[in-house]
Amino acid sequence: MLNTRSFCLSAAIACCVFIILAGCTGKSQPSRFYTLTSMSEDQRGQAGAEQADDVAVGIGPVKVADYLDQTRIVTRTGDNNIDQAEFDQWTGSFKDNLINVLAENIGYLLRSDRISIHPWRSFMPIDYQVTVDIVRCDGELGKEVVLIARWNILRGEKQELATMKRSDIRVEFTGGSYEALVAAQSRALGTLGSEIVQAIQTAGQK
């Protein structure tokens, strides 16, 4: 009799565990993956950059704030509050994605194929080197993205400091989706690329 009761109790517990696990599995959501994109044709046209005679530009080193360089997408819920998405993630490395998009934007605007990403081979000639420190690149869903970056432009083999600047770029967007957030971040990177290209062209006129 005792064995029968123990068996029934064990079976009941196992059944409950199975139901709980099945319920948890039913509520799980698939992960969604996102990537930053380079400037659109409209953005390039609005930037209005002039040809720079196939100038050679080296991008980097590029530093990205630690809290940004992770798999899950980061948003703000207040000035001092950070939220990490549970199911919305970056495809690959956020830092690598950002650097590649920035390099693409600069190449498009300068109309130059001679764009290298740090570290480049020592024998490659570089007319201008752009170093970047991304302090912030996040936003609040349904409101705006904020991109803050400190960057320098070094000129020639002697790496003469041509420009030292800080960019504070804000892009408003509607909709509370992560897709809209990432699109706004991409536009902000396009604006940063435009500011860097304008500084390179100004340095070339001196």
In one-letter notation, the amino acid at residue 19 is: I
Q: How high is the pLDDT of residue 205? A: 76
In degrees and rounded to multiples of 5, residue 45 shows phi and psi of -65, -40
Q: How high is the pLDDT of residue 127? A: 96
Q: What is the 8-class DSSP label of residue 51?
A: P
Of 143, 138, 135, the residue nearest 73 (C-alpha): 138
Separation CA 174–CA 73 (nearest Å): 18
Secondary structure (3-state) at 65: coil
pLDDT in tens, 112-162: 999 999 999 988 899 999 999 999 999 999 999 999 999 999 999 889 999
Q: How high is the pLDDT of residue 79? A: 80
Sequential pLDDT tens for the chain (206 residues) = 445 555 444 544 544 444 444 444 445 689 999 999 999 776 666 655 555 568 999 999 999 999 999 999 999 988 889 999 999 999 999 999 999 999 999 999 999 999 999 999 988 899 999 999 999 999 999 999 999 999 999 999 889 999 999 999 999 999 889 999 999 999 999 999 999 999 999 987 76
In degrees and rounded to multiples of 5, residue 120 shows phi and psi of -110, 165
Residue 133 class from Cβ within 10 Å (0-12 exposed, 13-18 middle, 19+ buried)?
Answer: middle
> Is the bond preceding 61 in cis, omega lying within 30 degrees of 0?
yes
Helix residue spans in the chain (DSSP H)? 2-27, 41-47, 94-110, 178-204
Q: How high is the pLDDT of residue 173? A: 95
Secondary structure (3-state) at 122: coil
Q: How far is CA 8 from CA 16, 22, 74, 179, in A?
A: 12, 21, 49, 51
Point out which residues pair with 170 in neighbouring strands.
146
Separation CA 18–CA 13 (nearest Å): 9
Separation CA 115–CA 54 (nearest Å): 9
The pTM of the full predicted model, rounded to 2 decimals, is 0.82
| Contacting residues for 90 by C-beta, under 8 A, at least 6 apart | 33, 34, 35, 70, 71, 72, 73, 97
Topology of the domain comprising 35-204 = Rossmann fold (3.40.50)
